[in-house]
């Protein structure tokens, strides 16, 4: 078996995949982020406990694992001291800390920095979070590891990262594929805190000193990369196809073999990153924090996601106004005074409008795609898929993968195990 781990914002998932690429077992637990005083973070030890729990739910089948792949959210991570101990909690990617660091970077580098890192300078970036930690008295930091890297370290003791995760740091030149030491220097720390960048599928370490995991000693472990991109491999998204990853955040992604016009890309609010493996790039558009929007709306309406989907199937959508913006930023929204099914249909329509806008912008930057493949938790919503299919200019299909990101991580583990030369050579998947 191959083991794929996906550490997401809301859930941490693990799947076992066989040599035919089939998901034969899976488990999921909440990712232990907590909100306090307007901040969102989690204890590094709590993350390890979540990993132990989700792996434990796989039972004795863990003994059959021959290789492990880890994917997850980018930008979130923790500083470590020389002994590998966490000096601070893991700050969530969407936490707003780091505004002073952003202002300093904008002052020192102007617009040139965004053109090199492939995205606007904002608090989401790793450098903004580390800059905030430095400003608030963190000392003794010798390493900074993102969430997937923390999992690699816990399982193997090795410190390494992957191209697509490095590219989300805010101090990595995505076209040149190299660190920019002048950026962290401005914020009072060194680029040396970031580990070596290796290609997804490379053997980055082997299970050692991790009896808590139940995994066989010596099994190779690789970091597969940034979750949205790893999910493309798990969902079977080809080079001429677009991906629609729908989890806590909804993102549209296309692969590209060349760096596009960076000025046009940023003008269209598209972001550029390095694709796992380091040989290609990916253009991304963040449509909305769709998962947050729908979870908050379901709570306000007092019904489950599944019940609301059933009610929306034949409902006439109502105008939800600015509810999507409010809910995505944690602001209590005033939902229309209408039957829940009509409100839900309105929310799905409003979210789809953002998906269409994102696809249009990606097309301007990277050209058209043959179809859109949807994966992630939001792909289970049949009415949402119907709205997307009616609104988009290309066929919309749903990936058959139950856990596309975790499956993609497992396929990268297959490369590390020598089962196939690349994830593009792994068993194909089905769509519906």
Kindly list the domain boundaries of the chain, sorted by start residue. 2-229+403-425, 237-399
pTM > 0.85: yes
Token digits for 147? 């969430």
Mean pLDDT of 257-274: 96
pLDDT above 60 for 432: no
Average pLDDT across the chain, whole number: 94
Looking at the domain 2-229+403-425, which fold is it? Nucleotidyltransferase; domain 5 (3.30.420)
pLDDT of residue 16: 97
Question: Which tokens go with 82?
Answer: 């020389």
- CATH 3.30.420.40 for domain 237-399, yes or no, is yes
Structure tokens at 95: 């936490």
User: Which residue, 127, 143, 140, is CA-closest to 181?
Assistant: 127
The half-sphere exposure of 223 on its side-chain side, counting CA atoms within 13 A, is: 36
* CA distances to 51, 156, 203, 215 from 251, in Å: 25, 31, 29, 33
Query: Which string of b and e fits 241-275 if b means at least 16 CB within 10 Å?
Result: bbbbbbbbbbbbbbbbeeebebeebbebebbbbbb
CB 293 within 8 A of CB 351: yes
Question: pLDDT tens for residues 342-361?
Answer: 999 999 999 999 999 999 99
Q: H/E element holding 257?
A: none
Query: What is the average pLDDT across 193-222?
Result: 97
Q: Please indicate whether residue 431 or residue 35 has the higher confidence score (pLDDT).
A: 35
Q: How many helices (H) and strands (E) does the chain have?
A: 15, 21
CB 213 within 8 A of CB 55: yes
237-399 and 2-229+403-425 share a CATH fold? yes
Instruction: Give the Cα separation of 374 and 370 in Å (integer).
Output: 13
């Amino acid at each position: 078996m191959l083991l794929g781990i996906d550490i997401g914002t809301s859930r941490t998932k693990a799947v076992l995949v066989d040599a035919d690429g089939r998901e034969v077992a899976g488990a999921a637990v909440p990712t232990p982020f907590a909100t306090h005083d307007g901040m969102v973070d989690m204890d590094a030890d709590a993350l390890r406990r979540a990993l132990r729990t989700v792996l434990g739910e796989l039972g004795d089948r863990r003994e059959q694992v021959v290789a492990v792949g880890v994917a997850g959210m980018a930008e979130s991570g923790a500083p470590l001291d020389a002994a590998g101990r966490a000096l601070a909690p893991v700050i969530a990617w969407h936490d707003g800390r780091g505004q002073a660091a952003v202002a300093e970077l904008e002052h020192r580098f102007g617009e040139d920095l965004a053109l090199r890192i492939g995205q606007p300078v904002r608090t989401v970036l790793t450098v903004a979070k580390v800059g905030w930690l430095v400003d608030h008295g963190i000392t003794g930091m010798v390493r900074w590891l993102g969430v997937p890297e923390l999992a690699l370290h816990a399982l193997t003791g090795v410190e390494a990262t992957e191209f697509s995760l490095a590219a989300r740091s805010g101090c990595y030149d995505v076209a040149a594929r190299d660190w920019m030491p002048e950026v962290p220097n401005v914020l009072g720390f060194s680029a040396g805190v970031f580990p070596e960048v290796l290609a997804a599928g490379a053997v980055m370490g082997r299970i050692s000193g991790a009896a808590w995991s139940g995994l066989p000693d010596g099994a190779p472990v690789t970091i597969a990369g940034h979750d949205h991109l790893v999910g493309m491999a798990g969902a079977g998204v080809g080079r001429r196809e677009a991906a629609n990853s729908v989890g806590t955040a909804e993102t549209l992604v296309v692969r590209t073999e060349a760096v596009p016009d960076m000025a046009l890309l940023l003008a269209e609010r598209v972001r550029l990153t390095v694709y796992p493996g380091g040989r290609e790039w990916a253009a991304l558009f963040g449509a909305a924090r769709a998962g947050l929007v729908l979870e908050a709306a379901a709570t306000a309406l007092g019904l489950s996601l599944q019940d609301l989907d059933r009610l929306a199937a034949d409902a006439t959508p109502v105008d939800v106004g600015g509810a999507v913006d409010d809910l995505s930023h944690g602001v209590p929204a005033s939902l229309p005074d209408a039957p829940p099914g009509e409100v839900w249909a309105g929310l799905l329509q409003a979210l789809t409008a953002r998906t269409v806008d994102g696809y249009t912008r990606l097309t301007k930057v990277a050209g058209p795609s043959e179809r859109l493949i949807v994966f992630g938790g939001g792909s289970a919503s049949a009415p949402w898929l119907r709205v997307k299919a009616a609104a988009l200019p290309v066929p919309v299909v749903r990936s058959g993968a139950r856990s596309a990101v975790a499956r993609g991580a497992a396929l990268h583990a297959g490369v590390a195990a020598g089962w196939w030369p690349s994830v593009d050579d792994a068993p194909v998947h089905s769509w519906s």
